[in-house]
Amino acid sequence: MTHAEGDAERGFTVRSQGHSWRARTLVLATGVLDHFPHFAGWESYVGRSMFWCITCDGYENRGRSILVVGHTDAAAGEAMQLHSLTDRVRLLTNSASDEISPKFRRRLKGAGIPVVHDRIGEVEGAGGLLTAVVTREGRRLELDALFSIQGATPETTLARQLGVRLAPTGYVEVDSEQKTSVPGVYAAGDLTALHSHQVTSAVHEGAQAASAANYFLHPPELKAD
């Protein structure tokens, strides 16, 4: 368990697994916990035939048979977007609840995207490549790729320990220089935004946070403000 405490005046201390580190500034880059469907051996499919980002992996799956997993309008929207790349799209709620609104349900029907209200029982596949999902009610859904749209949880434990303000979305609130509400604490990457969980975005924010943190450490006589 990692713990963070302190402030810019006293310095910050981070403790984890018997070790501790002290610093005058902190850059939080703890990311998010993506929610994938769990089944036997699910980890081996992530990034090979089980994805979560249409921007990253949608184009590579054009023309293929895709199963979108999720029970909300976000999942329905992802299914509609993927339909622009392939006409072989289905949606599996994988939940006891089905929260897809009538508006999105009409859109799915108009696009010919079937909605299966059931949960994953087991899968068929090998070497990280899925070939079929078998639902708890016995439906066998053949596929080439699965897109999991079950949301993500920002890893904000350290931020909350430090008293950093969170946005209404639950993500860390930052300004254009990646500054948080606590002086000396910066945040970058997936932790700061509900969308755009991209390597390119994280690299940009990380560089911005590092630059701002470095400037924060300058003595007053070297600062322009």
Q: What is the pLDDT of residues 104-149, one digit of tens each?
A: 999 999 999 999 999 999 999 999 999 999 999 999 999 999 999 9
**Domain end position, chosen among 118, 148, 178:** 148
Q: Residue 224: what pLDDT?
A: 82
Per-residue confidence (pLDDT) for residue 225, from 0 to 100: 75
Number of domains, the chain: 2
Which of the listed residues 125, 148, 171 is the one where a domain comes to its end? 148
Whether 54 and 115 map to the same domain: the answer is yes
Domain boundary among 123, 148, 173: 148
Are 143 and 186 in a shared domain?
A: no
* Domain span including residue 107: 36-148
Tell whether 77 and 103 lie within a shared domain.
yes
Q: 0.75 cut: is pTM over it?
A: yes
Q: Give Cα 157 distance to the centre of its chain.
A: 16
Name the H helices within the chain.
Answer: 54-57, 73-83, 102-110, 157-161, 199-217
| Count of residues making up the chain | 225
pLDDT at 213 over 90: yes
Q: What is the pLDDT of residue 195?
A: 79
| Average pLDDT over the chain, rounded to an integer | 95
Band (pLDDT 50/70/90 cuts) for residue 220 is confident
Domain co-membership, 65 together with 137: yes
Q: Does one domain contain both 143 and 158? A: no
203: CATH = 3.50.50.60
Question: What average pLDDT does the segment 9-18 reach?
Answer: 93
Instruction: Extract the runs of DSSP E, i.e. beta strands, from the chain.
Output: 2-7, 11-16, 19-23, 26-28, 32-34, 50-51, 66-69, 89-92, 115-116, 120-126, 129-135, 140-142, 145-148, 152-154, 185-187
pLDDT in tens, 49-102: 999 989 889 999 999 999 999 999 999 999 999 999 999 999 999 999 999 999
Q: Output helix, strand, coil percentages for the chain, rounded to the nearest 5.
A: 30, 30, 45
**Is 93 in the same domain as 43?**
yes
Tell me, what's the pLDDT at 173?
Answer: 97
